Amino acid sequence: MNLPNKLTMLRIFMVPVFLVFIYLDEIPLHYLWAMLVFIAASMTDWFDGKIARSRGLVTTFGKFLDPLADKILVITALAVFVELEDVQMSAIPLVIIIAREFMVSGIRLLSMEAGVVVPAGIWGKLKTAFTMVTIIVILLYLVVLHDFADIITISDEIRGLIHTWLLGGLIWISTILTVISGAVYLKNGWKYVSATK
């Protein structure tokens, strides 16, 4: 297994570490640690692609595993946000995002049966990057709200504005990008779906 694929595997292994930190409030600064783990995992997404392209290490396994690792990382974080009282993310964006990922995975499976791996396009990469930034912003909000509560005080009014307009806005923009990237992927991969009729 080459270095880019090892970094992709590392991203998957960091998901349970992220969950441990975000749920175990017995750990000092646990939201901060969760955010740092998520940032580190997100950075592996950038490094594995850069290394694979620059060193000619792009493989079929990597093309398959890299977007899968992104899905696991992002969906895990968003599912946690639906559950956390301080975020209270609507389940609707999560359902839309999961539905898109199922559709893309199905098309990818059919294209692989045809001997072709359909890589993530620019819209898919933009969606992934924006969603990861959104998750980091939400984690930063939790860090300020809980881990640094003794240092930084947020009034209920400001907290409501942040929750509704900033966090909510970022989540819905991520969802819109998800729909657009899914539509583009479906258009590009439809020939593999229609060939099975």
pLDDT in tens, the chain (197 residues): 788 888 889 999 999 999 999 999 999 999 999 999 999 999 998 888 778 778 877 777 777 788 888 889 999 999 999 999 889 899 999 999 999 988 988 887 787 777 776 666 788 889 988 999 999 999 999 999 989 888 888 888 888 888 888 999 999 999 999 999 999 888 887 777 765 45
pTM (two decimals): 0.88
Question: 166 in a domain, yes or no?
Answer: yes
**Cβ contacts of residue 130 below 8 Å, gap of 6+?**
173, 174, 177
Question: 46 in a domain, yes or no?
Answer: no
Question: 154 in a domain, yes or no?
Answer: yes
Question: 189 in a domain, yes or no?
Answer: yes
Question: 144 in a domain, yes or no?
Answer: yes
Domain that holds residue 77: 59-194
Question: 52 in a domain, yes or no?
Answer: no
**In whole angstroms, how large is the CA radius of gyration of the chain?**
18
Cα gap 180→169, rounded to integer Å: 17
pLDDT of amino acid 52: 78
Residue type, 188: N
Integer angstrom CA distances of residue 25 from 20, 30, 79, 157, 167: 9, 6, 18, 26, 22
pLDDT of amino acid 13: 95
pLDDT of amino acid 41: 94
pLDDT of amino acid 82: 95
pLDDT of amino acid 162: 87
Question: 168 in a domain, yes or no?
Answer: yes
Q: Count other Cβ atoms within 10 Å, centred on residue 122.
A: 9
Integer angstrom CA distances of residue 100 from 67, 77, 127, 159: 13, 16, 12, 31
Return the C-alpha torsion angle 64, 69, 72, 77, nearest 10.
Answer: -150
Q: Which two structure tokens, joined as six digits, stand for 195? A: 């060939």
Counted domains in the chain: 1
pLDDT of amino acid 38: 97
Question: 21 in a domain, yes or no?
Answer: no
pLDDT of amino acid 27: 95
pLDDT of amino acid 140: 95
pLDDT of amino acid 16: 96
